[in-house]
Amino acid sequence: MKAVVIEDNEKIAYKEVPAPEPGPGEVRVKVAVCGICGSDIPRVFDHAAHSYPVILGHEFSGTVDRTGIGVEGIEPGMRVTAAPLVPCHECPDCKRGDYSLCGHYNFIGSRRQGAMAEYVVVPARNIVVLPNEVSFEQAATIEPATVSLHALRLAKYGQGRRMAVLGCGIIGLYAIQWANLLGAESVTAIGRGETGLQAAEAAGADAVFSTEKISEAELLQTLNSRGYDCVFECSGSGQTMALALQAVAKKGTVCYVGTPKKELTFPVRLWENINRKECWLTGSWMSYSAPFPGEEWRMAVEYMASGRLKLVPGIVHGIYPMERAAEVFETARGGGGRYLLCCEP
């Protein structure tokens, strides 16, 4: 089969490799579409790959092609996506349903071969069946959509709350939609570039602010006058990590979803917000709950199938044939949105 193989740091090859065979309890999927995640960029360019050679790709969709011994209820021809985390299902974290916290996990598209290829093999219990209403393109964004929902659930998200979403990448754009679907009173989006902010409006944000267009003082004043019950930090930049503590209302909740990329410094007066506002702070990691892969996955498929959770313009920046992966990775390196690779040109 053809696959995008990361052979070494910055070395991307589109080449012929043996197609994987499904073992007992495994399913082989013929890949239709696979997304390039922000976490794939350092795996290609910053020595963050778990090992070489590796086929990346953990946000994908396709059709079941073969099933291994002992697989029940999944048949060739079914349209599917799959949860990329392969937890041990045995440790105390897994037993509690906190699969994201498992310390003995495997991961499709990093620790085991991923979906930037014609075929990928996954455990049957990771398979999520797609209704016909969900396109392969949208299905390749289910994983990020579940990450946004997981964060909202962790922040004990309830109805009638004023939300602020910091960062308008795919996680932020799905967080805006989930917040509205789950009954937010209002959703404010804060981002940088024009494209992200337009997408945030299309996703249903009531107000959008660009950190590039207004001064930090002005932004703070606006945010403080509003006061947010829930602040979702989805970019991981130092600026928005700090802003989150300033934007949160008294007794509000800050949820850090974005992964910080640089060292962070919080001045005392900023950190003191946590004391003075008696706010709640939580982090969020991946998107799983019991029964595996979890309510996040069930809801994402259901809300996409009914058309309530949308692939709004701006979530996906482009769809390219897999053979152009090297060029697309180079473009995606500049940051911004999701790029999708498709198997059929």
Quick one: 249 or 316, whose CB is closer to Zn ion?
316
Of 12 and 286, nearer to Zn ion (C-beta) is 286
Determine the Cα angle at 295 with ends 124 and 79, to 5°: 40
Element (H, E) at 84: none
Asked if residue 82 binds Zn ion (CB under 5 A), the reply is no
Minimum CB–partner distance for residue 91 and Zn ion (Å): 3
DSSP assigned state of 278: T
Nearer CB in complex with Zn ion: 33/184? 33
Stretch that binds Zn ion, among 89-97, 237-245, 249-257, 261-269 (CB under 5 A): 89-97
Considering the rule CB under 5 A, would residue 91 count as an interface residue with Zn ion?
yes
Place of tokens 């994402």: 300
Closest CA to 31 of 108, 110, 114, 112: 114
Q: Which of 32, 33, 37, 254 binds Zn ion (CB under 5 A)?
A: 37
Q: Is 244 in the site for Zn ion (CB under 5 A)?
A: no
Least distance to Zn ion, CB of residue 153, Å: 18
Binding test (CB under 5 A) with Zn ion, winner from 22, 87, 314, 336: 87
Q: What are phi and psi of 274, to 5 degrees?
A: -65, -40
d(CA 41, CA 3): 17
73 CB-near residues (< 8 Å, 6+ apart)? none
Alpha helices in the chain (DSSP H): 40-45, 92-95, 136-139, 142-154, 170-181, 194-203, 216-226, 238-247, 268-276, 295-305, 325-332
User: Closer CB to Zn ion, residue 188 or residue 289?
Assistant: 289
Does 102 engage in binding with Zn ion (CB under 5 A)?
yes
Q: Does 88 bind Zn ion (CB under 5 A)?
A: yes
Give yes or no for residue 109 binding Zn ion (CB under 5 A).
no
Task: Tell whether residue 41 is a contact of Zn ion (CB under 5 A).
Answer: no
Alpha-carbon span 125 to 333, nearest angstrom: 33
With binding defined as CB under 5 A, does residue 94 bind Zn ion? Answer: yes
Q: String of b and e for 278-291 (b: at least 16 CB within 10 Å)? A: ebeeeebebbbbee
Mark the segment that binds Zn ion (CB under 5 A) among 75-83, 97-105, 267-275, 303-311: 97-105
Q: Does 19 bind Zn ion (CB under 5 A)?
A: no
Rounded Cα gap, residues 50 and 110, in angstroms? 6
From the list 18-26, 29-37, 157-165, 334-342, the region that binds Zn ion by CB under 5 A is 29-37
The span of 79-87, 251-259, 295-303, 313-321 binding Zn ion (CB under 5 A) equals 79-87
Q: Which residues bind Zn ion (CB under 5 A)?
A: 37, 39, 87-88, 91, 94, 102
